[in-house]
A = this chain, B = another copy of it.
């Protein structure tokens, strides 16, 4: 019975691929079967999450992750794994992340916060000040120093639920975190807190990095949970004279040496043409495990290596698997990789990143030369049996963006986005939130795309 079923699956797939090469269709079926039945990405993710955990660049955990992924890849392609040295941002969260309001009678109410990545800390005894609440980042434009001076700015802009792709909602109100401190400092703000960037309503604060510029005073930034933001908002409405106290001992140290981890299968016909597949190895340090962000992308990328090796697919072009370091608060690994590629005059024809969670794959973001993109789009029918339909969104990924200017088509795996920001940069981004099948389907989608590009390149219509 099961052999009959397998046959029918294979026939179905071969048929549905229409004008495509039947061999490609069968190989993509084998890739999916292998990933779903024998794939190891889920087990590797288990190790990275439960035995290593949060692994911000420069941390001991990041070193363990480098060592582990090196060993995994070296067990698949012995001798073809290397470390690429990179100086990374070395920010330390510290121990203190306290936030409370005090009313005129001295009653205190505590709120859960998380320091934002790269933020300066507060003075030892904290910052205590009145609060000005803004309903959006844009409201800053209508305020003067008289409104803000000596206060803590509380950005309470919620993620817009109406976007279908939740990343669009993130982009549309991300300024309250990225530019929160930098935006408020020129008006004399002492610190900022922002409503967590999530669609969920819960008590988990979501961290993430902020942008400072040298010309503007650096003030501390923290994120408050969405439930906390609602409570604080209500408390301020009832008593505008509340003061807020922030105590944070995070700090920036000097850059420190770390590594990208790179595994490779040399192309048989055009070894000089390189296809990068990668994710970022670093993950936030605020209690989560970096499961969806971006343990998932790392183990899926390593699975590509495993699939090619196990199915004995000999790629015509070079497949290079990269675990990028320091994406979260510096993108130093991605920059280093691109700089090095340019220096060595390497020819990267494509770079594929998985950094949007280990959920059911829905398609690919893409960017690059129009002719090359239209060539990729001819392969869409090969992906549809696996329910990848969305290939029209523009994008790639933070770590591979530097390769675009070198002529590579950049692509980002596009998984279902509805749950992503429930866990993103929060203590809830843990292994139990990942479904094995969804993760392995994403790995198969990466391997399938890498296979097609390696087989045909991107210069000729197949």
Contact = CB atoms under 8 A, between A and B. Distances in A.
Interface string A357-398: 000101000000000000000000000111101100000000
B36 A161 contact: yes
Interface string A392-426: 00000000000000000000000010110010000
Interface string A1-32: 11001100100000000000000000000001
A124 interface: no
A199 interface: yes
Contacts of A436: 199-200
A74 interface: no
Contact of A387 (B6, B161, B164, B200): B164
Given A1-B138, A360-B418, A416-B416, A162 B32 contact: yes
A138 to B, nearest CB: 5
Interface in A158-212: 160-164, 166, 172, 199-200
Contacts of A37: 161-162
Interface string A125-152: 0000000000011100000000000000
A362 B390 contact: no
A340 B360 CA distance: 41
Given A166-B437, A418-B437, A390 B390 contact: no
A63 interface: no
A455 interface: no
A390 B383 CA distance: 13
Contact of A5 (B160, B200, B360, B435): B160
A138 B163 CA distance: 48
Given A418-B435, A435-B418, A437-B166, A160 B360 contact: no
A386 B164 contact: yes
B199 A5 contact: no
Nearest to A37: B161
A305 interface: no
B160 A32 contact: no
A438 interface: yes
A421 to B, nearest CB: 9
Interface string A32-50: 1100110000000000000
A436 B418 CA distance: 9
A88 interface: no
A441 interface: yes
Contacts of A137: 1
A305 B36 CA distance: 40
A176 to B, nearest CB: 11
A437 B199 CA distance: 8
Contacts of A435: 418-419, 422
Given A161-B437, A418-B435, A419-B435, A5 B166 contact: no
Nearest to A138: B1
Contacts of A385: 164
Given A418-B435, A419-B435, A422-B435, A162 B6 contact: yes
Contact of A416 (B138, B163, B360): B360
Contacts of A9: 162-163
A199 B437 CA distance: 8
A211 to B, nearest CB: 18
Contacts of A138: 1
Nearest to A165: B387
A200 B385 CA distance: 23
A323 to B, nearest CB: 25
Given A32-B162, A160-B5, A162-B9, A387 B390 contact: yes
B136 A2 contact: yes
Nearest to A385: B164
Interface string A424-448: 0000000000011110010000000
Nearest to A166: B437
A164 B136 CA distance: 42
Nearest to A158: B2
23 contacts: A1-B137, A1-B138, A2-B172, A5-B172, A9-B162, A32-B162, A32-B164, A33-B162, A37-B161, A164-B386, A164-B387, A166-B437, A199-B436, A360-B360, A360-B416, A360-B418, A362-B387, A384-B389, A387-B389, A416-B416, A418-B435, A418-B437, A419-B435
